[in-house]
Amino acid sequence: MHLFATVRLVFATLVLLSILWNSVWEAAVADELVIAPLVATARRAGLRLLESDHLVLATDRPARQGDGVEDLPRIFDEAFVSWCAHFSIDPATRSGWRAFGCCMAQRELFISIGLLPKEIPAFKNGYCDRNRFWLVDQSSPDYRRHLLLHEGVHAFTSTVRSLNTPPWYTEGIAELLATHRLVDGRFEPTPIPLRKGDVQQLGRIEKIAELRANGGVPLLADVFQTPANEHHDLTAYAASWAATAMLAIHPTYAAMFAAIEAGPLDQEFGVRLQRSRGWSESRAGRDFDAFTDELDYGYDFSRSAIDWSLGKPLASPQRIVVDSSRGWQNSGWSVAKGESCSLAVSGRCTIGVLPASAAAAGTKDALALESEAAGISLRWYRGRPLGRLLVAQWALLPGGEASHRGFVVVATGEDRTLTASADGVLYFKVNDAPGELAENSGTLSVAIAPVPRSTPGD
């Protein structure tokens, strides 16, 4: 009895200590800094101060016409509204929230006047401590603005949401909510950039493409394990952004992820996601592989999310309709490795070519080009004519590591037969950039039929 009482007392003390520790920790993470003394220091030192409702930006960068620096506080306020929206927060309830940012042309100057304390770890481009952040001035206005907003998201999430999550989410959400384009000078969130020209020097889509070409795109399970010290590496940024983008936007995960994001943003964040109802590690891993395999500017999950249904064995002739405005489409029919089938494609569809690529044609509207199974040789995408019918299977990627899978093309619209390279469903699509599928219309019709194997000696 005595022992039992002692155990209970020890347990109760531990619980109390853990509650106290948690509240101290939460307070340490979540407390907003009072920025007035920092602003006063910056003013005394003669720094330029640019202010809006939610940001005071101090900079030693000389005023220069057309560099966009004067617009940064207003754009920060516009972004603030979209960050609130992401976390279902009414911005009016946070009207007093303000961050203090330093945009530094000469880092030493900020150290000498006490605005960059030596306790702050060395950083390359930017660093955030609660609602206070620093960024090294950049030559590209687009990249400077992106960096400012990236640190701004850290300032917002670490104070308003007490964020203290594993690095993949900390960096992934900062990248996701910072990515934008300017429309008539105003902030418009584009979690997946629409055009290369909107995000100069960001390089994440190119990084993923480069990793894919080398067979080195991280698996989702690897991204979840991103160590804290690697988050300044472009690969880690790109992969963390891609994972967060998929979870936040893909129709299979969006609601589940939003529910997890509404809860505590702590070290258990990833574990809570993996314990969510309906979460499948293997399915999510496959969706991530498919996303990184196909990723490009303007990628749209509503057109390119994959149906992984198993399909029925192809035992008799079938007709498949391929929508030119969607990514890989599950035919519903599967074939075993080594089995062959015949292909006959009919129909015409319209492929829209967007202005950037039609610039040479001197038009501002999308060019609408009629296409058949072979595609149009006017423009190519990923080594094949635009509009060409592609048939693929989900299989190990040639040249990649054993764990890397993707869509392996087994036939195109010019072929009359195909031989399966793996067991599984046949997927069809019309070759086009995923960001331009919305410009297409019409369908191709494909007749497929199994070809009996000829046995030697028959």
**How would you class 80 by CB atoms within 10 Å of its CB: exposed for 0-12, middle for 13-18, buried for 19 or more?**
buried
Nearer to Zn ion, 174 or 411 (CB): 174
Least spacing, CB of residue 427 vs Zn ion, in Å: 36
Cβ-based nearer residue to Zn ion, 171 or 439:
171
Largest Cα span, the chain: 95
For the chain, the distance separating the N- and C-terminal CA atoms, rounded to the nearest angstrom, is: 86
Q: Which of 174, 178, 242, 247 binds Zn ion (CB under 5 A)?
A: 174
* Interface with Zn ion, residue 135, by CB under 5 A: no
Whole-number minimum distance, CB 152 to Zn ion, in Å? 10
Q: In whole angstroms, how close is the CB of 171 to Zn ion at the nearest point?
A: 5
CA distance 95 to 53: 8
Q: What is the DSSP letter of 100?
A: E
x/- map, 188-207, Zn ion, by CB under 5 A: --------------------
Of 74-133, binders to Zn ion (CB under 5 A) are none
Q: Which of 171/300 has CB closer to Zn ion?
A: 171
CB of 256 to Zn ion, least distance (A): 24
Quote the least distance from Cβ 286 to Zn ion, whole Å: 28
Give the nearer residue to Zn ion in terms of CB position, either 174 or 177: 174
Residue 126 bridge partners (DSSP):
135
Q: 153 or 422: whose CB is closer to Zn ion?
A: 153
Rounded to the nearest 10°, the torsion over CA 413, 416, 422, 424 is 70
For residue 229, the minimal CB distance to Zn ion (Å) is: 13
Give phi and psi for 202, each to the nearest 5: -70, -50
> For Zn ion, which is the closer residue by CB, 175 or 439?
175
Closer by beta carbon to Zn ion, 171 or else 261: 171
| In the complex, least distance from residue 174 CB atom to Zn ion, rounded to whole angstroms | 5
SS3 128: strand
Q: Does 155 bind Zn ion (CB under 5 A)?
A: no
Of residues 375, 392, 401, the one with CA closest to residue 427: 392
Kindly give, in sequence order, each residue whose CB lies less than 8 Å from that of residue 417, ignoring residues fewer than 6 positions away. 340, 341, 342, 343, 411, 451
Nearer to Zn ion (CB atom), residue 174 or residue 249? 174
Number of residues that bind Zn ion (CB under 5 A): 2
Contact criterion met (CB below 8 Å) for 23 and 30: no
Q: Which is nearer to Zn ion, 238 or 345 (CB)?
A: 238
Give the type of residue at 376.
I
Q: Which helix (H) or strand (E) holds 425?
A: strand 424-430
Stretch in the footprint of Zn ion (CB under 5 A) among 81-89, 139-147, 168-176, 408-416: 168-176
The minimum distance between CB 318 and Zn ion, in angstroms, equals 50
> Among all residues, whose Cβ is closest to Zn ion?
174
Q: Which stretch binds Zn ion (CB under 5 A): 165-173, 186-194, 220-228, 341-349?
A: 165-173
User: Could you tell me the smallest distance in angstroms from the CB atom of residue 230 to Zn ion?
Assistant: 12
Query: Per CB under 5 A, does 236 bind Zn ion?
Result: no
Alpha helices per DSSP H over 263-329: 269-274, 281-294, 301-304
Residue 375 DSSP SS3: coil
- What stretch of H or E contains 237? helix 234-249
| Cα torsion angle, 74, 155, 31, 165, sign | positive
List residues binding Zn ion (CB under 5 A). 171, 174
